[in-house]
Amino acid sequence: MAFKKNSAGQWVPELPEYQLGEAFGAGVWNIGPGGGRFAPAMRPVLSLEETLAHLKTSGLTHVEFHDTEAEPADAEKIMTAVNNAGLKVSMCTANLFKRGPEFANGNFGSEVEHSRKESVRRTQEYIRTGIEIFNAGVYVYWNSSNGFGGPLMVNYKDMFQRTADGLNEVVAWMLKEYGPERALPIAIEPKPNEPVSWGVPADCGEALAIIGLMEPEYQPFVGTNLETCHSLMAGKRYAAELGLAAAAGKVFYVHLNGGTGLKFDEDLAFGDNDFGVAVETVYTLQEVGYNGVVAIDVQPLNTDTPDQQAASLGRSIRNFKRAQQICTERIDAAKLQALRSTANRAELSEYFVSIVSGK
Ligand code: 3MF
Ligand code: MG
């Protein structure tokens, strides 16, 4: 994508423009055999073409790749398959977590110089792929193993600054190689833990703080990609995190899914377990004026059969559209604002439940 200067002469991202709910994206990793440390694979491995076909028939318009699913050297060939499937690439992201031991101890913020250098190199390489081959909308930096595992394992002050410095180095390179007009918006995806005990940045606030530690000239090129479950894991309300990022002009992308409380990263379908969160999320996306791709980051349920490979994705989209219809048909913005101004929480709760329940 690109950046343009606003009337105040500041660089702002030219994000893909859609009607909210017109464009949905998902990573190829959202479909597949499943399985992990505590469950076996439940479904057959699919080819790229089969995966893309499942995405398309589930209502997706865009696809996301890690550089481990779409290596730079294979990107041209893969982009042909994406075009043949009638999809576009909304996001690309270097896998700085499941590639090798070099990232076991973090990435941009690591105490290990080789890890920092390799993180920057992999990120630059995939931003190049995203600009030159995928024509991606954004690049996402998920903190993943960046953080610390226990007492005094890192110099805390340096870790935060190093994470900002890694982003400085990537943005400086990107602007030199492509200029602002071709630069790819970089969205930080914060997560408080997993795979590391304390992830950095843990939430939206820390992501914005790290952007604030960057060189001022590079800050406009970095924003956020907030994920529902990650906010839940951080003990935050997702819609409030969206509001914070929006107040800073930093909602570059979103990852929606669902969870059942302060637990692990469940990556459940959006709206499945707390439809009220879905309604509040959609209304807040409307309130902050988000009109980019709505990306879904979910995992199949371990009971999903081979023909239910993309069931969580399709249900997430249907739940988003259900929530959107409720927002359109049942929320009177003026009445809600009037209730907010009275700070009458009983009335506000009554109104919200009447909206969600339709009663
Ligand atoms: C981890 C995630 C990741 C990131 C992905 C893109 C596998 O909890 O959510 O999904 O979204 O790596 O950065
Ligand atoms: Mg995610």
Give the pLDDT mean for 162-181: 98
Question: Is the Cβ atom of 297 under 6 angstroms away from ligand 1?
Answer: yes
Helix/strand/coil (H, E, C) string of 64-82?
EEECCCCCHHHHHHHHHHH
Rounded CA gap, 229 and 263, in Å?
9
254 - beta bridge partners?
Answer: 226, 294
Task: Spell 161-170 as b/e; 16+ CB within 10 A means b.
Answer: bbbbbbbbbb
pLDDT digits (tens, 9 = 90+) for 20-76: 999 999 999 999 998 888 899 999 999 999 999 999 999 999 999 999 999 999 999
Mutate to test the pocket of ligand 1, among 93, 189, 298 (most ligand atoms within 8 A of CB): 189
Instruction: Find the radius of gyration of the CA atoms of the chain.
Output: 20
Domains of the chain, each with CATH number or no CATH = 3-329 (3.20.20.150)
Q: Tell me, what's the pLDDT at 16?
A: 76
Q: Chain-wide mean pLDDT for the chain?
A: 96
Counting residues of the chain whose pLDDT is more than 90, the rounded percentage is 96
Counting residues of the chain whose pLDDT is more than 70, the rounded percentage is 100
Give the pLDDT mean for 119-132: 98
Query: Cα-flanking dihedrals φ and ψ of residue 154, to 5°?
Result: -135, 160
Concatenating the DSSP letter of every residue in 82-107 gives HHHTT-EEEEEE--SSSS-GGGTT-S
Q: Tell me, what's the pLDDT at 36?
A: 86
Query: Cα-flanking dihedrals φ and ψ of residue 240, to 5°?
Result: -70, -35
For residue 192, how far is its CA from the centre of ligand 1 (angstroms)? Answer: 13
Rounded CA gap, 168 and 150, in Å?
27
- The Cα-based distances of 81 to 86, 129, 180 in angstroms read 9, 16, 29
Rounded CA gap, 239 and 12, in Å?
23
The secondary element (H helix, E strand) that includes residue 175 is: helix 156-182
pLDDT digits (tens, 9 = 90+) for 230-281: 999 999 999 999 999 999 999 999 999 999 999 999 999 999 999 999 999 9
Beta-strand (E) ranges in the chain? 2-5, 11-14, 24-27, 62-66, 88-93, 138-142, 147-148, 186-189, 198-199, 222-227, 251-256, 294-296
Question: Is the Cβ atom of 272 under 6 angstroms away from ligand 1?
Answer: no
Q: Which ligand is nearest to the Cα of residue 193, counting in written order? A: 1
Confidence check: pLDDT of 313 > 80: yes
Mutate to test the pocket of ligand 1, among 186, 297, 298, 313 (most ligand atoms within 8 A of CB): 297
For residue 229, how far is its CA from the centre of ligand 2 (angstroms)? Answer: 8
Concatenating the DSSP letter of every residue in 236-250 gives --HHHHHHHHHHTT-
**Tokens representing residue 327 in the block:** 């927002």
pTM given for the model: 0.97
pLDDT digits (tens, 9 = 90+) for 218-230: 999 999 999 999 9
Q: Tell me, what's the pLDDT at 340?
A: 96
Whether 149 contacts 186, CB under 8 Å: no
Question: Is the Cβ atom of 129 under 6 angstroms away from ligand 1?
Answer: no
Rounded CA gap, 199 and 210, in Å?
13
Rounded CA gap, 144 and 165, in Å?
17
